[in-house]
Amino acid sequence: MSDFDITKHILYFKHEKLTEKEKKDLLSRYDITGKELPKILEKDPALRHLKVKPGDVIRIHRKSPTAGSSDYYRVVVRE
């Protein structure tokens, strides 16, 4: 593995792992299951520092010149 810190890259968006309560609230708010969320691979370089496992939900905070900012959610999968 490389020593490159992807979190310092200009195109990196902040990724954070939701707590179990946050995950439950998110799924309840949208009346969905984790399987219905878009997926992100466990070995994705942006997740390296988060110590994730399959089934965890990740919030990706994106900034946009038109929308200001918005959050996207992904469920961690092995492959």
Question: Which residues, in sequence order, are bridge partners of residue 58?
Answer: 17, 74
Q: What are the sequence ranges of the domains in the chain?
A: 11-77
Q: Determine whether 34 is exposed, middle or buried from the number of CB atoms within 10 Å of its CB (0-12, 13-18, 19+).
A: middle
The CATH number assigned to the domain with range 11-77 reads 3.90.940.20
What pairing do the DSSP bridges indicate for beta strands 68-77 and 14-17?
Answer: unpaired
Buried b (16+ CB within 10 A) or exposed e, 35-67: eebeebeeebebbeeeebeeebbbbbeeeeeee
pTM, rounded to two decimals:
0.83
Mean pLDDT by groups of 10 residues along the chain of 79 residues? 66 88 97 96 89 95 86 94
pLDDT recorded at residue 9: 65
pLDDT at site 64: 80
